[in-house]
Chains A and B, each alone.
Chain A
Amino acid sequence: MPASLAPAHNTGNPIAVEMRGLNKWYGEFHVLRDINLTVRKGERLVICGPSGSGKSTMIRCINRLEEHQTGTLMVDGIELTNDVRNIDAIRREVGMVFQQFNLFPHLTVLENLTLAPIWVRKVPKKEAEEAAMYYLERVKIPEQAAKYPGQLSGGQQQRVAIARSLCMKPKIMLFDEPTSALDPEMIKEVLDVMVELAREGMTMLCVTHEMGFAREVADAIIFMDRGEIVESAPPSTFFANPRTDRLKLFLSQILRGH
């Protein structure tokens, strides 16, 4: 393991995301149960668990795509309340990559990347385009800048989506199953970009079942089931010594698939 990937866990780094007693219901359905979670700056957290366990809901609370009902949620020192100014401030600092890419199909790749910097960060167009080209090089597709998303492969689209988030210079990146919609041969090109991002010290919360990726970069892996955090451990212990039967069952299922 490269030195730059030394665990940031439990070091004295400032706190990036903190959830205290977080609960959320969809009507009667209790989707998040008493979630407590601390993520420090520079830490890489991988979240896994069976379908419907609340992984997406939890990370979507962090940038207020979902609203929690009780408990506190602090992001980058700002508490998420109904105050629109806080929500705007947090969304400026938090980037998100979706399973379905969600690129804007009516804009070119370059325009996808410059839209938010121009309108949210009020960056001059030329500067925004230079930054966009820099990030396109980072994800290794500068030659696609003038194309429309529909002309790219899935892997390329997801890399554009990552670059689009990076253009806002976020302090925290959220990934919700970024490789689940991709054909196997494209998964690696996206994971490579994410590994590189991790190497540079980006704070990352990543819902994924790519256990190879988790082993390589995660400081901690969280296992969720039925709206609860069941286990949380560094990769070595997580795979070698699962404490609960639920995690043992889950690991046996997903590791068999690989």
Chain B
Amino acid sequence: MATAPRSARRPPGAGVKLSFNDPVVRAIFWQIVIVGAVGLVVWWLVGNTVRNLEARRIASGFDYFWREAGLPIGEAMIEYQPSDNYFRALVVGVLNTLRIAVVSIVLATILGTLIGVARLSRNWLVAKLASVYVETLRNLPLLLQLLFWYSVLQSLPPPREALNPLPHVYLFVRGLQMPWPQWTPELGTVLAVMGIGIVASFLVRGWAKRRQMLTGEQFPIGWTAVGLVVALPLAVFVMQGANLPLDVPTLGRFNITGGILITPEFTALLIGLVTYTAAFIAEIVRSGIQAVSHGQTEAAAALGLKRGQALRLVILPQALRVIIPPMTSQYLNVTKNSSLAVAIGYPDIVSIANTILNQTGQAIEGIGTIMAVYLTVSLSISAFMNWYNRRIALRER
């Protein structure tokens, strides 16, 4: 019966005549119209472009990926020389985009959460400062803020007069240069122990939870994790002689060599993206916490739950439901906004693909590459956040 045709369920006398007043007929009609219109537009665009390219004798296809780029790039996370091919240059750009996006997302989440909580503070001054921050940062165009931070960093002194706030740490016009640990087998061991500590913490957490459900006994899982992830690797480090050779920057006549250099382009972009996005995240966190009624806190307190338990077991799970969806769009915004890097010369994917596009003239492929990269990154973020959202929202009603 469930598969009976629609007409069979009509009231007698209504007939089986197809009518434009039938919502099903109407829906199908409009879908056909829309698909047809989109198809026409695409057909026209593609035909036009192909004819134009042929007329201007521009090659098409992705063969140029494997030609020598001859393109200098300011900073790269993998080995790169201008003699490498275009494809490698693009990979450098993608990695730079991912680097700025990931670091910005993490820092903006932390800063935004702190400011959002500060806005709810009972301390008048703290709350006021936080709301001034939010209102200022979120109402100025991001591009302006990036240019501001970049010009601040550009006004730093040349290498000879580099600021020296801490021993071996130099702040000058080409960025922040500081000591960096050299790779040794001992360091490898310490990092391996730390990794094992992280895995072990999760195992202990699972065990503690099962034991609590069975016996009611609680276990100080937070301190155990600190011990496993921080104290244990530290102990191993000390046992191995506390030997950490550093690559230390040295001041030359025109340059500073050694250590690690964080460029002003990266820093300006990072500060700009983090402070700007944190303002939006602060608002999301604030409204998320406020969405949980005060009665929930009171009920938890009346039942004898401690403040931390109430926050973790009652308030946060409810606040997160409200926070996660808008947070997802902020994470997507950070990623997309990182393309403003082109304005201050940070070599992200847009900046590099744009240069390549100018060299090769293959605009369609160039823009297509950028779009494919952003689409992949954005869809991955969306997929992850949707998964997380479902995980916390399923236990709802």
Contact = CB atoms under 8 A, between A and B. Distances in A.
Interface of A: 63-65, 88, 91-92, 94-96, 98, 100, 102-108, 115-116, 118-127, 148, 150-151, 164-165, 168
B301 interface: yes
Closest 10 CB pairs of A and B: A102-B299, A116-B303, A125-B213, A102-B295, A96-B302, A122-B216, A91-B304, A120-B304, A148-B397, A124-B216
B395 A65 contact: no
Determine the main DSSP class of B at the interface with A: helix
23 contacts: A63-B301, A63-B302, A65-B298, A65-B301, A88-B304, A95-B302, A95-B303, A96-B299, A100-B295, A102-B295, A102-B298, A106-B318, A106-B396, A115-B303, A115-B313, A116-B303, A118-B213, A122-B216, A124-B212, A124-B213, A126-B213, A148-B397, A150-B397
A127 B212 CA distance: 12
B124 to A, nearest CB: 15
B303 A122 contact: no
Interface in B275-324: 293, 295-296, 298-306, 309, 313-314, 317-318, 321
A127 B214 CA distance: 9
A91 B301 contact: yes
Contacts of B216: 118, 121-125, 127
B208 to A, nearest CB: 13
Interface of B: 212-218, 293, 295-296, 298-306, 309, 313-314, 317-318, 321, 395-397
A119 B302 contact: no
B302 A88 contact: no
Given A102-B295, A124-B214, A165 B318 contact: no
Q: Which of B214, B217, B304, B318 has the most chain A CB atoms inside 10 A of its CB?
A: B304
B317 A106 contact: yes
A116 B44 CA distance: 66
A91 B318 contact: no
Contacts of A98: 295, 298-299, 302
Contacts of A164: 303
Given A118-B216, A119-B309, A125-B214, A91 B303 contact: yes
Contacts of A96: 299, 302
B126 to A, nearest CB: 21
Contacts of B397: 105, 148, 150-151
A100 B293 CA distance: 11
Contacts of A94: 302
A207 to B, nearest CB: 14
A127 B215 CA distance: 9
B303 A165 contact: yes
Nearest to B303: A116
A95 B299 CA distance: 10
Given A115-B305, A115-B314, A119-B313, 10 more contacts: A92-B304, A94-B302, A96-B299, A100-B293, A102-B295, A105-B397, A124-B213, A125-B214, A165-B303, A168-B303
A151 B396 CA distance: 10
B314 A88 contact: no
